[in-house]
Amino acid sequence: MSEYISCEWLENGMDFDVGVYGSNIMQCCYVSCPGGGNIMLKRDFDGSPIDWEEFWKLKNHYRDIQKSGQTVKECTDCVFLRKDNWEEGNHIKSVIFDHFTRCNCDCVYCYTHDDKHKYNTLKSYNVMPIIRDMVERGIFVPGGQIGFGGGEPTMLEEFEELINYLLDHGFDNISIPTSAIKYSPVIEKGVSMGAVNVQNSIDSGRRETFAMIKGIDAYDTVIENMSRYASKKAENYNVISKYIICPGYNDMKREADLWLETCDRIGIKMLMLSVENIWLKSHRHEGNRRIVDLVRYILDKGRSMFPYCEGENHVMQLLSGIEKDGQ
């Protein structure tokens, strides 16, 4: 172990990224880093066996910069940098599967909304042989976080096999954001083991609002599936419902009330609140009073009803900024 400033992705992480910009292995998926992020570990990756010697040579180049007390240029001012005792040895503990290739929803706020067909037909590869190889070689070991980004994980052909394999090999911190339109037995299994966190952004309390935001009439199915996951949950609250306030669509107290009531009825205990990102970026400084009031209203009511109801970081920053300005 040695103490220096770094992050878990620089040290022990990798991101399998498949999207419109190609298929690459990245250091992490954090694209908002002031230094630029987007550190490439392997360009044009097509699922072929990885040359691990070459991989670690490059990864250790970045680790050595951090060890020397400097900062990797692309990581400058990243919020994930922290001083810690980092382990020696070449292990991967945290993996993100960022497949921007399949989704059975069409959310109005999604980056795929402009050209759904293009994203839904992007070419991908099977990640299972690589994961199996990594586990068998002792390269990929439990201890970090495993997550998905981009499209809908349950639409991936190898999803059930992949999560089953990870659960069978002791990986117990797996986060799965899902549209919850397709029910997944392996999510159910992972939730009941307490090894999987499942998050669904329903953004509505009614079928009509759901259809308007998501582009599909599947509200009842989603409620049914989330209710089934919630009934399997382990002691920790690992079934999460999220409400992204999309001004013009669901920014009414009545809608949010119905969301809270439904979560209560189907046994969800953990709630997250967010505000649609593009809207927030263009209104950050003026702090739209009505939306800020709605955020406060939902958080106050949610906290009185559930063990956990919080805003995402950018929502809390919005509130604290507004409070500082005395609005």
Rounded to a whole number of angstroms, the minimum distance from the CB of residue 324 to ligand SF4 is 26
28 binds ligand SF4 (CB under 6 A): yes
Rounded to a whole number of angstroms, the minimum distance from the CB of residue 173 to ligand SF4 is 17
Q: Which listed range, 29-37, 230-238, 269-277, 308-316, lies at the site for ligand SF4 (CB under 6 A)?
A: 29-37
Residues touching ligand SF4: how many (CB under 6 A)?
A: 22
Contact of 192 with 184, CB cutoff 8 Å: no
23 or 322, CB closer to ligand SF4?
23
Q: Rg of the Cα trace of the chain? A: 20
What is the C-alpha to C-alpha distance for residues 290 and 167, in angstroms, rounded to an integer? 44
Rounded to a whole number of angstroms, the minimum distance from the CB of residue 80 to ligand SF4 is 4
Rounded to a whole number of angstroms, the minimum distance from the CB of residue 151 to ligand SF4 is 5
203 binds ligand SF4 (CB under 6 A): no
104 or 164, CB closer to ligand SF4?
104
3-state secondary structure the chain: CEEEEECHHHHHEEEEEEECCEEEEECCCCCCCCCCCCCEEECCCCCCCCCHHHHHHHHHHHHHHHHCCCCCHHHCCCCCCEEEEECCCCCECEEEEEECCCCCCCCCCCCCHHHHHHHHCCCCCCCHHHHHHHHHCCCECCCCCEEEEECCHHHCCCHHHHHHHHHHCCCCCEEEECCCCCCCHHHHHHHHHCCEEEEEECCCCCHHHHHHHHCCCCHHHHHHHHHHHHHCCCCCCCEEEEEEECCCCCCCHHHHHHHHHHHHHHCCCEEEEEECHHHHHHHCCCCCHHHHHHHHHHHHHHHHHCCEEEECHHHHHHHHHHHHCCC
Rounded to a whole number of angstroms, the minimum distance from the CB of residue 24 to ligand SF4 is 14
Rounded to a whole number of angstroms, the minimum distance from the CB of residue 150 to ligand SF4 is 6
Q: Which listed range, 32-40, 136-144, 258-266, 308-316, lies at the site for ligand SF4 (CB under 6 A)?
A: 32-40
Q: Which listed range, 76-84, 245-253, 254-262, 313-321, lies at the site for ligand SF4 (CB under 6 A)?
A: 76-84
81 binds ligand SF4 (CB under 6 A): yes
196 binds ligand SF4 (CB under 6 A): no
110 binds ligand SF4 (CB under 6 A): yes
Q: Which listed range, 101-109, 134-142, 224-232, 271-279, lies at the site for ligand SF4 (CB under 6 A)?
A: 101-109
Rounded to a whole number of angstroms, the minimum distance from the CB of residue 180 to ligand SF4 is 9
User: Of 159, 155, 162, 101, nearest to 131 (Cα)?
Assistant: 162
80 binds ligand SF4 (CB under 6 A): yes
Burial degree of 31 (CB within 10 A; 0-12, 13-18, 19+): exposed
82 or 254, CB closer to ligand SF4?
82
112 binds ligand SF4 (CB under 6 A): yes
When binding is defined by CB under 6 A, the residue of 12, 16, 17, 37 that contacts ligand SF4 is 37
| Torsion of the alpha carbons at 159, 160, 162 and 168, rounded to the nearest 10 | 160
List the interface residues with ligand SF4, window 150-189 (CB under 6 A): 151-152, 179
9 binds ligand SF4 (CB under 6 A): yes
Residue ranges in contact with ligand SF4 by CB under 6 A: 7, 9-10, 27-28, 30, 33, 37, 39, 75, 78, 80-81, 103, 105-107, 110, 112, 151-152, 179
